[in-house]
């Protein structure tokens, strides 16, 4: 991200999401932070010039990728990644004070997946209502639309909800990675500990197509840190790959790999080179 004193940020809202908590790690008090209802809306705010950056989740260590984020980056109007941030995530079960009967529980589908054991043991007959974010579920609960919600403790505090039980996730070490997206044009300088992201579109799906891509990176000794296939949307069986590698696009091995891939692939969308966050 750039070093201007004050910047405008969109994030997956409403107030009280894990995305907001992650955003606080990389912003200062003078920055303007605006919540948006979903990932697409947050990224469109950058495309439309309403904000300078958007912070959205891209993967979780337990549940896996956030498909909407990957698809927006790969096939939506072009954006690039300027940074990343990770955040440990813990979930709380919350209700409005005085609630006795719980029949409808709201949360984000990723949160539900990470709290399956708790739900099965404590509320096996409850209806699980999906929301765009855990904080949106907490907000709906505060308005009386639900009997309970699974969200962050910050959401409970913001919406004046009662935490019945904290840290209910099936995996206590869950971590979510978020990316900061901007309009194309500015690339952070190499730091020596960078990540380069790209969307790789193969020309025609054929046996060994992925192997050809991997062999290029192996040829230049470039280490892959993430790879995910996604449908192109053209027809059944057509895919592109979202790939993260160690290194900066200005590093010779990465630069040569991308140049060679352009010769054998239908297209490559550069998604950014940016510093990798080092977790303690």
| Domains of the chain by residue range | 8-89+174-182, 92-165, 194-275
Closest CA to 3 of 56, 55, 52: 52
pLDDT, mean of residues 146-151:
97
Q: Does domain 8-89+174-182 have CATH number 3.40.190.10?
A: yes
CA 2 to CA 207: how far, in whole Å?
42
Answer yes or no: same fold for 8-89+174-182 and 92-165.
yes
Closest CA to 200 of 262, 107, 155: 262
Mean pLDDT of the chain: 92
Closest CA to 1 of 242, 277, 279, 275: 275
Peptide bond into 150 cis (omega under 30): no
Instruction: Indicate if the alpha-carbon torsion angle 267, 271, 274, 276 is positive or negative.
Output: negative
CA 22 to CA 256: how far, in whole Å?
34
**Considering the domain 92-165 in this protein, what is its CATH number?**
3.40.190.10
Q: What pLDDT is recorded for position 6?
A: 85
Residue 2 has pLDDT above 80, yes or no: no
Collect all residues with Cβ–Cβ distance below 8 Å to 98 and sequence separation of at least 6: none
Q: Report the percent of the chain where pLDDT is more than 90.
A: 82
Q: What pLDDT is recorded for position 257?
A: 97
Higher pLDDT, 36 or 280: 36
CATH topology of domain 194-275: Alpha-Beta Plaits (3.30.70)
Q: Report the percent of the chain where pLDDT is more than 70.
A: 93
The token pair at 14 is 């409403």
Closest CA to 222 of 260, 180, 165, 169: 260
Alpha helices in the chain (DSSP H): 18-23, 39-47, 67-75, 109-114, 116-122, 134-142, 153-158, 209-219, 252-264
């Amino acid at each position: 991200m750039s070093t201007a004193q004050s910047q405008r940020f969109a994030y997956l809202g409403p107030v009280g999401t894990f995305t907001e908590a992650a955003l606080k790690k990389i912003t200062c008090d003078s920055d303007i932070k605006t919540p948006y209802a979903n990932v697409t809306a947050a990224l469109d705010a950058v495309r439309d010039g309403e904000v300078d950056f958007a912070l959205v989740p891209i993967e979780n260590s337990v549940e896996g990728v956030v498909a909407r984020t990957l698809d927006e980056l790969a096939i939506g109007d072009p954006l690039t990644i300027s940074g990343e941030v990770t955040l440990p995530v813990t979930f709380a079960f919350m209700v409005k004070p005085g609630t006795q009967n719980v029949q409808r529980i709201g949360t984000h589908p990723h949160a539900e997946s990470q709290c399956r054991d708790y739900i099965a043991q404590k509320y096996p007959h409850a209806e699980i209502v999906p929301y765009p974010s855990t904080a949106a579920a907490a907000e709906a609960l505060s308005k009386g639309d639900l009997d309970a919600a699974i969200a962050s403790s910050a959401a409970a505090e913001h919406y004046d909800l009662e935490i019945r039980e904290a840290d209910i996730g099936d995996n206590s070490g869950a971590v979510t990675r978020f990316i900061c997206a901007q309009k194309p044009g500015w690339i952070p300088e190499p730091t020596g500990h960078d990540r380069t992201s790209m969307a790789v579109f193969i020309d025609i799906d054929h046996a060994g197509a992925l192997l050809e891509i991997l062999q290029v990176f192996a040829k230049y000794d470039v280490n892959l840190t993430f790879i995910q296939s996604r449908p192109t949307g053209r027809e059944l069986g057509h895919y592109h790959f979202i790939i993260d590698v160690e290194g900066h696009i200005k590093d010779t091995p990465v630069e040569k790999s991308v140049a060679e891939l352009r010769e054998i692939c239908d297209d490559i969308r550069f998604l950014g080179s940016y510093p990798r966050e080092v977790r303690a």
